[in-house]
Each structure stands twice: as C-alpha cells, then as structure tokens.
Structure 1
Amino acid sequence: MTKFASGRAASVETVRQARSFDAYKRRYVRLGLCYPCAAQAAYGHQLGFSLSKPPCHACQAVVDTFPVKRVNGWSSWSPRHGAKLSAGLRPRKAI
C-alpha cells in the first residue's frame, strides 16, 4: 500500500484505475516520452503531478510542447482539460 505525502494510506488500485494508468502510459509513449517518464505522466493523472517525479532531461523538450501546463515541470496532453488529440491519437470509428 502506498502512502500519500500527507501520510494517509492509499487504497488498493482497482482494475479500472490500472486500465486507465496503462492507457495514459501508452498514449504518452506514442507522444514520444520514454517508458519511465510516460509512467510518471500517468501517475500524474491519477495522483496529481505534484506527487510525480519531473521528466528526464531528454523528455523535457517533448513535455514542453504539451498544451496543458502542470506543476513539477510537467505539461499534459489531456483532452479533458482542453488539449486536442492529434490525428494519430484519435479513437478509431467503429465500422
């Protein structure tokens, strides 16, 4: 079990949270982040960017191009917060 910065214990991750984490991580890998930074970005979406580690030096240039600015050196590419999906990341339409 993980503890938050406030010292309170976090509950066990649900299947839905795990799938959401994996989806965010895959999206950030497709946008050009390395696997560790993509995982930190996914954690940022789940727990808050102030609790995630800053991106590595190589990924910082990519992160700086993301439209939604966050704390701790992060920017996000979240459609929930106004970012537009690029053509390569748009959901495929069902046929």
Structure 2
Amino acid sequence: MTVASTPESFSEARDHQRIVRYAERAGLCLLCAVHLANGTQLGFTVTAPPCPSCVPIVSAWPIEKLNGWRTLPGRVARQPTWKGHYNLADVDLSRPGSEHL
C-alpha cells in the first residue's frame, strides 16, 4: 500500500497492529512502534526518525533503512522474525488472541 492508494485492507491493518505490538515488546515507545509499522508498510521516506530513547534499540537491528531506521530480516509482521528481540514471557497469555501475536 502507498500513501495515495486504496484504503488499508483488513490484513494490512492486522499486520500494522502486530508490528506495533512486537516493537513495543522489543522496547520501542508507542510512537516509534507506530512509525516502524508505518515505515514497514509505506516506506521509511515518509516516516519520522526514531526518538533519542529508541535509537539504541533500533541501532541494534541488522538492516539499515532511511531516516535513521533499521529493521529486522524477514516479514516484520510475523512472530518468528522477532524471536530473541523481546521476551515471550512478557506476553499476557490470559488476553484472548495474545498467543497469536
């Protein structure tokens, strides 16, 4: 999807929310997690750079992008990509659907 294209699909919205949740669990603030999700879907040229407190987390990721961003290899909306980048013990399994984050 691009900024000037059709409305976001259900699967794009679901992937966006997953990326936000994974990024927050990895330690990013909510705003930077949303910027990462937007950058992943729309491109990092339209995304603000990470805030100073999130830069150390982002700089540890292997793939360099624009505007000071780095990302993980593979599909960022899929849990295996994030393995080792957040603690699965932090996932609240009492919340319905959280086991599928």
In the superposition, relative to structure 1, how do residues 84 and 39 fare at CA in structure 2: closer, same or farther (>3 Å)?
A: closer
TM-score, with structure 2 as normaliser = 0.71
* 1:11 pairs with 2:6: yes
Q: Percent identity?
A: 34
Tell me how many residue pairs correspond in the alignment. 83
Q: CA RMSD in A?
A: 2.2
TM-score in terms of structure 1 length: 0.75
Q: Which has the higher contact order (CA 8 A, sep 6+)?
A: 2
- The question of 1:32 aligning with 2:27 is answered yes
**Hey, which bits of structure 1, 4+ residues long, moved more than 6 A?**
none
What is the DSSP-based 3-state SS (H/G/I as helix, E as strand, rest coil) of the residue aligned with 1:79? coil
Gaps of 5+ in 1: none
Are the aligned partners of 1:68 and 1:78 in contact in 2 as well (CA < 8 Å)?
Answer: yes
Q: Distance in 2 between matches of 1:80 and 1:18?
A: 15
Q: Is the 8 A contact 1:79 1:85 kept in 2?
A: no
Q: For residue 88 of structure 1, what is the aligned residue in structure 2?
A: 87
1:72 corresponds in structure 2 to: 67
- Aligned counterparts of 1:12 and 1:55: Cα–Cα separation in 2: 26
